[in-house]
């Protein structure tokens, strides 16, 4: 199955049944979504569903349309065409009752720097009919030791955690996270991931955008890869890796670089070499490894540091997005 | 009813923020009171100790107490909202608020209430200073008129301050325009210079704007011994018309998303 297949609704339903969740109405349903700014169309008709209780990742290079998509779902932007529903309602006409169920963590967001963490959360909790307790939100994001400090004195990572705490204050059924860990150091990202996984266990549906492959692979139950305003792949991360066209990489070093030319006709795969380091890209790793090791045995050649690397989500992503990750 | 409480909650936090902002406390609150003390110590006394204007004749001390109260109302509402809301818009705070179930009117009402409370604190400090140190006489029957002018002025200048944010794409532009407009108007509205000393054409310019009428109204309410509420149709009408203009512009042109750095 090619990577561009497998995002029709029937396939999505199959996944829902497999993961044991009742076949409810999807939390989010997007069909033929288009968005133009002036004469420029930035979303060219995209489709996907997000099921209740799952973590759905929207992955793509900068400028692919991630923020435009999430802001349409959040009720900030009007769409140009297509059908969009979030909890059965049109986010283009956000109502108060609808907003009660939605939590937001925007890509760039600031709160009043002169209020404390607790004051900020108390103010936002007043907006909701049944908010999550302020103390619980503080603890969920691990800001307990800064609770009475002014927002203006928090570090960048702590402010991001406050963003998440405010996103959770309404006890939302669905949380939007727009690039939640951009600018985090590795340990802060790990902490954020643990927090998001914790939310999933609480039953919150999470819609996440990111341009970090490892983040998507680690967190998302399913993801859509967006390129130039089109969904180019949709499915579980493992499915995308397995079903993708990305090739396994076999690498090793040869003591005598000249042997590469002798080896070339005997082994399946695309071969490149420099200074004795050989890289073989293959769509059939079993055959390639068999032919390679047979050849080496026959010719008494040592394959130093032999290694086969399965394709990762990153290699799938780079292949689908034309190698332009930035 | 719950939403009225929500507006009050927001006004409480907005007031907390304002009282933690040095610019607001120094420029908007302490400055007018200091000006009052200086004006009453420098300009009053001697032959020119009384001012005759449309509302009657009062001591210069009482005149400037009312004038600078009008000035303080302008700073606490118009200037403070124009700068504060532009800053909240440009830093994305308003966009974030818009993404909550909070009804927009409760936010706006909260901001107006917070401005009125700031103005009230300063005006009460002004009246106390005038009465205690400068022998200003406040006639009880005119306090109602004073309160009406205060309320009309606070609401009208708040509406104009919110409308002003439609014209200020950045905090810098708001910080320049907000105070500048009030200070310029103060010169032609009988705030810094009594109206009887203004050339006719400058007074005519002042009369076109609401600060003149707020000042004249408050001044009239400090004229004692003449009975009546001190409310004059012309002054009330100016505040109402300008206030409504502010409301119309604010409802049509107010923006929740950052304007300067649009992505």
For residue A129, list chain B residues with Cβ-Cβ distance below 8 A: 101
Which pLDDT value is given to residue B188?
94
Residue A94 has pLDDT above 50, yes or no: yes
Nearest residue in chain B measured CA to CA from A126:
B6
Chain A nearest-CA distance from B254, in A, is 15
Residue A154 has pLDDT above 50, yes or no: yes
More confident residue, A244 or B64: B64
Around Cβ B134, how many Cβ atoms within 10 Å? 19
Nearest residue in chain B measured CA to CA from A96:
B101
Q: Which two tokens stand for residue A52?
A: 């209740």
Q: How confident is the model at residue A16 (pLDDT cuts 50, 70, 90)?
A: very low
Residue A5 has pLDDT above 80, yes or no: no
More confident residue, B51 or B46: B51
Q: What count of CB pairs under 8 Å joins A to B?
A: 62
Chain B nearest-CA distance from A183, in A, is 18
A106 to B6: CB separation less than 8 angstroms, yes or no: no
- Which domains are delineated in chain A? 9-243 (3.40.50.300), 248-310 (3.30.70)
Cβ-contact A28, A195 below 8 angstroms:
no
Q: Which two tokens stand for residue B260?
A: 């300067």
For A127, the closest of B21, B93, B100 (CB atoms) is B100
B92 to A110: CB separation less than 8 angstroms, yes or no: yes
For B100, the closest of A110, A111, A124 (CB atoms) is A124
Share of chain B above pLDDT 70, in %: 97
B99 to A128: CB separation less than 8 angstroms, yes or no: no
Residue A18 has pLDDT above 50, yes or no: no
For residue A110, list chain B residues with Cβ-Cβ distance below 8 A: 91-93, 96
CA A91 to chain centre: 22
Which pLDDT value is given to residue B156?
97
B99 to A75: CB separation less than 8 angstroms, yes or no: yes
Which pLDDT value is given to residue A17?
37
Which pLDDT value is given to residue A24?
61
Indicate yes or no: pTM above 0.90: no
For A104, the closest of B10, B99, B102 (CB atoms) is B99
Q: Please provide the DSSP assignment of B93-120 as one string.
A: HHHHHHTSS--HHHHHHHHHHHHHHHHH
Residue A21 has pLDDT above 50, yes or no: no
ipTM: 0.91
A112 to B95: CB separation less than 8 angstroms, yes or no: no
A214-223 pLDDT per residue, tens: 888 889 999 9
Which pLDDT value is given to residue B261?
58
Chain A nearest-CA distance from B118, in A, is 17
A119 to B16: CB separation less than 8 angstroms, yes or no: yes
Residue extents of the structural domains in chain B? 2-44+57-253
Q: How confident is the model at residue B48 (pLDDT cuts 50, 70, 90)?
A: low
A96 to B6: CB separation less than 8 angstroms, yes or no: no
A109 to B96: CB separation less than 8 angstroms, yes or no: yes
Residue of B19, B92, B101 for testing the chain A interface, max A β-carbons within 10 Å: B101
A56-77 pLDDT per residue, tens: 999 988 889 999 999 999 999 9
For residue B13, list chain A residues with Cβ-Cβ distance below 8 A: 112, 115, 119, 123
For residue B93, list chain A residues with Cβ-Cβ distance below 8 A: 110-112
More confident residue, A242 or B243: B243
Work out the mean pLDDT of chain B and round it to a whole number: 92
B96 to A97: CB separation less than 8 angstroms, yes or no: no
Q: How far apart are CA A64 and CA A214, in angstroms?
A: 18
Beta-carbon contacts of residue A167 (< 8 Å; ≥ 6 apart): A103, A104, A105, A175, A176, A177
Which pLDDT value is given to residue A11?
40
SS3 content of chain A, % helix, strand, coil (to 5): 35, 25, 35
Which pLDDT value is given to residue B18?
94
Nearest residue in chain A measured CA to CA from B97:
A124
Q: Please provide the DSSP assignment of chain B as one string.
A: -HHHHHHHHHHHHHHHHHHT-HHIIIIIIIHHHHHHHHHHHHT-SSTT-EEEETTEEEEHHHHHHHHHHHHHHHIIIIIHHHHHHHHHHHTTHHHHHHTSS--HHHHHHHHHHHHHHHHHHHHHHHHHHHHHHH-----HHHHHHHHHHHHHHHHHHHHHHHHHTTT-SSHHHHHHHHHHHHHHHHHHTTSSS-GGGS-HHHHHHHHTSHHHHHHHHHHHHT--SS-S----HHHHHHHHHHHHHHHHHHHHH--SS-STT--
For residue B260, list chain A residues with Cβ-Cβ distance below 8 A: none
A127 to B13: CB separation less than 8 angstroms, yes or no: no
Nearest residue in chain A measured CA to CA from B5:
A126
Share of chain B above pLDDT 90, in %: 76
């Amino acid at each position: 199955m090619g990577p561009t297949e497998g995002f029709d609704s029937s396939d999505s339903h199959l996944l829902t049944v497999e993961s044991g969740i009742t076949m409810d109405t999807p939390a989010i349903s997007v069909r033929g979504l288009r968005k133009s700014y002036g004469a420029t169309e930035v979303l060219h008709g995209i489709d996907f569903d997000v099921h209740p209780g799952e973590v759905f990742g929207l992955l793509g290079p900068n400028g692919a349309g991630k923020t435009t998509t999430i802001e349409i779902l959040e009720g900030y932007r009007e769409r140009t065409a297509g059908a969009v529903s979030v909890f059965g309602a049109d986010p283009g006409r956000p109502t108060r009752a609808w907003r009660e169920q939605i939590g937001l963590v925007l890509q760039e967001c600031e709160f009043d720097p002169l209020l404390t963490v607790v004051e900020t959360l108390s103010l936002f909790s007043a907006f909701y009919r049944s908010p999550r307790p302020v103390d619980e939100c503080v603890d969920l994001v691990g800001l307990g030791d800064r609770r009475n400090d002014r927002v203006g004195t928090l570090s960048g990572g702590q402010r991001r955690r406050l963003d998440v705490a405010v996103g959770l204050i309404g006890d939302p059924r669905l949380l939007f996270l727009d690039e939640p860990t951009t600018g985090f150091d590795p340990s802060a990202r790990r902490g954020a991931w643990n927090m998001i996984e914790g939310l999933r266990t609480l039953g919150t549906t999470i819609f996440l955008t990111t341009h970090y492959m490892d983040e998507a692979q680690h967190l998302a139950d399913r993801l859509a890869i967006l390129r130039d305003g089109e969904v180019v792949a949709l499915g579980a991360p493992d499915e995308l890796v397995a079903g993708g066209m990305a090739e396994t990489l076999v690498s090793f070093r040869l003591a005598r670089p000249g042997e590469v030319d002798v080896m070339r006709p005997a082994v399946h795969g695309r071969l490149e070499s420099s200074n004795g380091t050989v890289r073989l890209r293959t769509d059939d790793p079993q055959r390639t490894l068999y032919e390679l090791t047979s050849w080496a045995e026959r010719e008494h050649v040592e394959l130093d540091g032999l290694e086969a690397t399965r394709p990762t989500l990153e290699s799938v992503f780079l292949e689908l997005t034309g190698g332009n990750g930035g | 009813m719950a939403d009225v409480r929500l507006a009050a909650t927001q006004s409480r936090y907005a007031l907390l923020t304002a009282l933690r902002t040095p610019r607001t406390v120094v420029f908007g609150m302490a400055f007018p009171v200091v000006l009052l003390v200086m004006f009453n110590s420098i300009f009053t006394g001697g032959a020119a100790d009384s001012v005759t204007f449309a509302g009657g004749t009062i001591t210069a001390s009482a005149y400037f107490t009312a004038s600078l109260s009008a000035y303080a109302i302008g700073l606490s509402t118009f200037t403070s909202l124009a700068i504060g809301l532009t800053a909240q818009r440009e830093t994305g705070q308003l966009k974030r608020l818009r993404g909550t179930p909070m009804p927009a009117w409760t936010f706006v009402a909260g901001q107006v209430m917070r401005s009125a409370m700031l103005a009230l604190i300063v005006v009460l400090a002004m009246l106390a200073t005038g009465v205690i140190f400068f022998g200003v006489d406040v006639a009880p029957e005119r306090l109602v008129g004073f309160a009406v002018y205060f309320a009309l002025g606070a609401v009208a200048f708040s509406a104009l301050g919110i409308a002003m944010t439609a014209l200020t794409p950045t905090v810098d532009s708001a910080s320049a325009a907000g105070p500048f407009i009030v200070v310029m108007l103060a010169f032609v509205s009988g705030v810094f210079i009594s109206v009887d000393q203004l050339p006719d054409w400058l007074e005519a310019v002042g009369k076109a704007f609401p600060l003149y009428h707020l000042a004249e109204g408050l001044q009239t309410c400090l004229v004692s011994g003449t009975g009546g509420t001190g409310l004059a149709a012309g002054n009330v009408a100016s505040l109402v018309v300008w206030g409504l203009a502010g409301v119309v512009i604010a409802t049509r042109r107010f923006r929740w998303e950052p304007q300067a750095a649009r992505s």
